[in-house]
Structures are given as C-alpha cells and as structure tokens.
Amino acid sequence: MGAAFDGKVCVVTGGGTGIGAEIARLFAAEGYRVVVSGRRRQPLDQVAAEIDGLAVCADVSDEDQVRALFAACDEAYGRLDVVVNNAAVRGPVMTIEDMDAAGWDEAMAINVTGVALCIKHAVPLLKRNGGSIINISSVSGLRGKATRSPYSARKFALNGLTRAVAFEVGADGIRVNAICPGGVTGERFVTSQAMRAKVLGTTAEALIRTQYEEPSALKRLVEPGEVAQAALFLASDSASAITGELLVVDCGRI
C-alpha cells in the first residue's frame, strides 16, 4: 500500500501498548503521520519517538481531554484521515452475581462512551477530506462468554455504535467499521485468562488451549500485528466500499 498513505494522518487511542502500538507502528511504516494517545505518558512517548509521531495524553472518558486530543492533531498536522479507537480497559472478570458496579461503570465509560466521544470530535475533521473510523471491538461482542458479561456488553454496544454511525456519516465520505479480534497474544490476554481461570476453577493454560487454540481453524492465537494489518486494510482504498462491517480476526474460532 506504501506511498498511497504518505501525508495522511491517523489518531490511535490506546496507542502506547499492545494492539494499539502495533497499529501505530504499521501505519507509520506505511507513510502515515500518527498521533498516539493514552493515559500513561511513558509508553506513549516511547512509541511516538520510535515512529516520529505525536504523543498526547488523554483519558477518552473525559470529553475535555478528547477535545484537546483532536485539537492537538489538527494543530500539528492540519488534517485527519483515520481514527483507530483502541483505548479500553479489561473491566471486571467475575460472574454476574458478583458484579462490581464501579468496575462496570468504568469499563462502559472508557470502552463505549469514550469511543463515542472520540467519534464526535473526530468527525468534523474527517469531513474535510473523508476518511475512516476503525473501532477495535472483540468476538465477545458477537458471542457472550462466561465471567465476561461487562466486556461482552460493552463490545456488543460498540458494534451497534459502529453500524449506526456508519449511516450517519457515510454521505460525508467517512467509513466506519469495527475489527473483532479473538484471543490476541500479549500480557493483557494472559492476565485476563488467569483471572477467568481462577473464577472457573481451572488453569490459564487449559483455558487458552480448550477455548481458543483447539476450537480455532488455525489452531493458534492471533498476533497483534495481524490485527494491525486488518486495520490498515480498512483504512485503505481497497476497502472503499466497506462500511458498517464487523471484521472478525480470530483464526477461525467463531
């Protein structure tokens, strides 16, 4: 895809670690100028230095901070072409009977309201030249999972938001899609599975093997870079007729 992206600008929330960092690196390598955002300064600065990008600290659940994020992008680069809404928190891992309401509220504020706020403040910039909004969802937004009701609920909500907004902004040349990864390698995934295993009375290794690797067509987990490649495709002209879609990237597990 290469030179087709030279001079274009992308904002990646949750861009300091994991999937977000991989997306930032790939987009920068393909010619994008990238703004990475998140709540922790150190990982953001590290990624931004690596890709010659811009780091902006922002909590996406705070509208003033979201407004400042997109204002900083506009001031630095004068345009916006792609937004990747990746910022998220794990939320409670427990049965519904043991639900922690505070944890539920925090997860919804960041993973659903935060995405909506980013879209709200990105759209005026995207309207100038058209562009792409890519929401990082999950296969848990397509099928529920025991002990992860808060996570599933917010990902189902995110998928609904994706499809609704696609119809609002399509006439402005803005496409809106979601990627639904499943079982992506990394520290966050391992920690989540360890927490689930404790609740379910098994081991993380057994859970990963029986619920992720063995049921998948490819018999393995997803790599963060594979999610990044899917995001790059959705941002490209190769996906020019694709909007309101939920792209599953899970090695053929659901």
Cα angle for residues 202, 203, 207 (degrees, 5° grid): 85
CA-based R_g, the chain, Å: 17
Catalytic residue, from 61, 152, 155, 216: name it: 155
- Phi–psi pair at 146, nearest 5 degrees: -55, 140
Catalytic residue, from 32, 77, 151, 212: name it: 151
- Per-residue tokens: 209: 């093997």
Catalytic residue, from 137, 140, 149, 152: name it: 137
* Active-site residue, 155 included: yes
Report the 10 Å Cβ neighbour count for 105.
Answer: 14
**Whole-angstrom distance, CA of residue 205 vs CA of residue 159:** 29
**Whole-angstrom distance, CA of residue 46 vs CA of residue 165:** 33
* Active-site residue, 151 included: yes
Active site residues: 137, 151, 155
